[in-house]
Amino acid sequence: MNRSIFFSAGEPSGDKHAARLIEALRERDPKLQFRGFGGSEMQQAGCQTDFELTQLAVMGIVEVAPKVAEFYRVAQQAKQIFAEGETDGVVLVDFPGFNWHVAKRAKACGIPVYYYLPPQLWAWAPWRIRKVRKYVDKVLCVLPFEYQWYRDRGIDAEYVGHPFFDAVAKQPLDKTTLDRFDEIKRSGKRLVAVLPGSRRSEVTNNWPLQLEAIRRLAKRHPDVRFQVACFRDRQCLWCREQLTAEDQSLPLDFFVGKTSEIVEAAESAIMVSGSVSLELMARSTPAVVLYRVGRTIKWLASVLVSTKSMTLPNLIAEKTLFPEFVSAGDPEPVIGEVVAAADRMLSEPEYLADLQQQLQTLRSKYAVPGASERAADQLIQWMGERRSSALRRAA
């Protein structure tokens, strides 16, 4: 019987990373079978998707509460699949709020659990390490400092690098779009990327602040065009709908599915906090980072979050390369700070060049492609060792 691996990925980014890992695993063992919860990317990679989990990608108790029953139903679906006895391993990809329940059901059936892009417990709720000890057999770490963090706490972990850098290295950029940007720059314009986020809630919370920042920056820098990189068509439509009659003259261009091209062409960016910051690092594009939350969430973060930064390149570099701002309550103070930070990048060429140089140094050290392949090799090794051990016990 061919070996079968069950994947569970709930975020759009996790869906992409899982898909690349599935492709790498299939290259190493064409007989491997894949099924699980995920999205369209995993389906295209040849994974039988029992539920499109990316439809339930939510954040915060307000968004999660209405979907608790659905999450429970899907978790019970995983339990039924595991009870069939045909799953040789479970690979969890990010999305810990739900994936803990998948891990719990897999362990109850004696199935090994491997966590790829593990929970960022080093940033928040470090006491939850007990869940990792209880429900996870091995951890595939994607950040250098988290590898050491897990190892220091007795977790069997390996560092494979971040798959975001695989995407940057392998994804061909659309030449037509890049040519368009080059034409704009030849006309004397400078490009600033604007990244409103990938989740609906991120876009609705942050785009109004970004738009106000654009209004103010456009007055100070008439030679700048702002390229807005939307994740979905409906998000792009919503962003456009927020423009007033006066905004119609703003130097704005909207795109869907062109984030990489925009980041590559821009000299700087205004972005919502997220893992896409790694792509800006890999393309040496400095950014101002924004994230808007409710007052209660901000207070909880001040109590629970144990890191000094919310931006991965800053954590990797152990210093602030991307100025970052959290907004709660009255947005005006943070809008002013975002404008000031972005204005400095646009007004001080030496400052911008220094940031770009530091990002290039960081990129050469950590933005090394091949994470998917290294993760696949490690999974094949771990599953082989477990299979050999089981055969020895049976003999």
Do 121 and 175 share a domain, yes or no? no
- CATH value at residue 128: 3.40.50.2000
Render pLDDT for 153-174 as a digit per residue (tens, 0 to 9). Answer: 999 999 999 998 988 888 899 9
Do 156 and 60 share a domain, yes or no? yes
Query: Which residues span the domain enclosing 113?
Result: 4-161+370-394
Could you tell me the two tokens for 49? Answer: 């998707």
Question: What's the pLDDT score for residue 178?
Answer: 96
How many other C-beta atoms lie within 10 A of the C-beta of residue 23? Answer: 16
Do 358 and 331 share a domain, yes or no? yes
Type of residue numbered 227: Q
Question: CA 87 to CA 353: how far, in whole Å?
Answer: 51
Does residue 320 lie in a domain region? yes
Do 53 and 146 share a domain, yes or no? yes
**Its pTM surpasses 0.85:** no
Question: CA 196 to CA 367: how far, in whole Å?
Answer: 23
Residue with more model confidence, 56 or 195 = 195
Render pLDDT for 302-351 as a digit per residue (tens, 0 to 9). Answer: 666 667 788 999 999 989 999 999 999 999 999 999 999 999 999 999 99
Do 332 and 215 share a domain, yes or no? yes
pLDDT band at 64 (very low <50, low <70, confident <90, very high): low
Do 85 and 197 share a domain, yes or no? no
Does residue 181 lie in a domain region? yes
Question: CA 368 to CA 349: how far, in whole Å?
Answer: 28
Mean pLDDT of 85-107: 95
**Residues forming a β-bridge with 92:** 8, 115
Share the mean pLDDT of the chain. Answer: 92
Pairing assessment for the beta strands 268-272 and 190-195 based on DSSP bridges = parallel
Does residue 166 lie in a domain region? no
Percentage of the chain beyond pLDDT 90 is 78
Do 176 and 279 share a domain, yes or no? yes
